[in-house]
Amino acid sequence: MPDQEGSFSLWSPVIDDDRKGCRFDARPYDFVQLSEGSSPLIRQFATCLGICEEIQEWRISRFCSSYFADTLGADTIEDRYPLAWRVEVRFQTQVPQAIRLNRPILSPRTCGDFDPTWLEAANSWSWSQCDCHVIANFLATEPQDLRSRLADSRALRMQNNCEFLCIADSVVQLRLQLGVLDLLKSDETVNQIVQEFRTLGAAVDWETSARMEAELQRYR
């Protein structure tokens, strides 16, 4: 992870189609985590993304993904599948069409504060079983176009729980939710899925995705 000051990094934000919601990933920089969240914390997250609308409700769910690993093939399962939290926020009014999410999109942005509802537990720093997600960013203009390109994907034929999100200009993010896995036993299977998407041209980790965004910006 990049070395920055602040409690959390926010990743891959996307505004919902009805423009009354926003989704993104949050990861801790320090020895803090997320639980249920608080109104001030979610307000700060939204402000960090450039959204000023009043918050109606939110939901936070914990998962792990090799997408956030600093080094694929690290020694421990926790290093190979870092924890992250999916944050879904709903607003009282629509986010105006004129508002575009603050960049970067594929690189992390820093947001301070902490979650007062989080309490350290036995599995806070050790998770051999966890809801596992595969995240892959493809160069594409529309989610449906990417669905068509991946019609023969073995991984997608085996998994029904997936999302295609248009998160940046010319970038569609595929999120494959594998469910709660015993990570030690499932490591090889998950890696095969990641490698399939890599072979198909996807950026399957945060460092490669950041380079993808930088290259796109160079040619605009």
The pLDDT assigned to 11 comes to 94
pLDDT at 70: 83
3-state secondary structure of 178: strand
Say whether pLDDT at 193 is over 70.
Answer: yes
- Provide the number of structural domains found in the chain: 2
Average pLDDT over residues 152-175: 88
pTM of the model: 0.91
| CA 108/CA 172 separation, integer angstroms | 17
CA distance 153 to 144: 14
The CATH number assigned to the domain holding 34 equals: 3.30.70
Q: Mark whether 102 and 48 lie in a shared domain.
A: yes
| Run of H or E including 134 | strand 129-139
Using the 3D structure, point to which of 58, 78, 111 is the last residue of a domain: 111
Which sign does the torsion angle of CA 153, 74, 216, 15 carry?
positive
Q: Which residues contact 172 (CB under 8 A, 6 or more apart)?
A: 137, 138, 140, 141, 142, 143, 145, 146, 164, 165, 166
Could you tell me if 13 and 77 lie in one domain?
A: yes
Same domain? For 23 and 60 the reply is yes
Instruction: For residues 89 and 173, state if they share a domain.
Output: no
Decide if 17 is inside a domain.
yes
The model's pLDDT over 79-94, given as tens digits with 9 standing for 90+, comes to 999 999 999 999 999 9
Claim to verify: residue 155 and residue 96 sit in the same structural domain: no
Residue 1 lies in a domain: no
Residue 102: predicted pLDDT: 62
Q: Using CA atoms, how far apart are residues 179 and 205, in angstroms rounded to an integer?
A: 19
- Is residue 3 predicted with pLDDT exceeding 60? no
Same domain, 32 and 61: yes
Residues 98-112 have a mean pLDDT of 77
Same structural domain, 89 and 184: no
Q: Across residues 178-188, what is the average pLDDT? A: 95
Same domain, 71 and 135: no
Q: Which residues span the domain enclosing 44?
A: 8-111
Q: What is the pLDDT of residues 201-220, one digit of tens each?
A: 999 999 999 888 888 877 66
In a domain, 124, yes or no: no
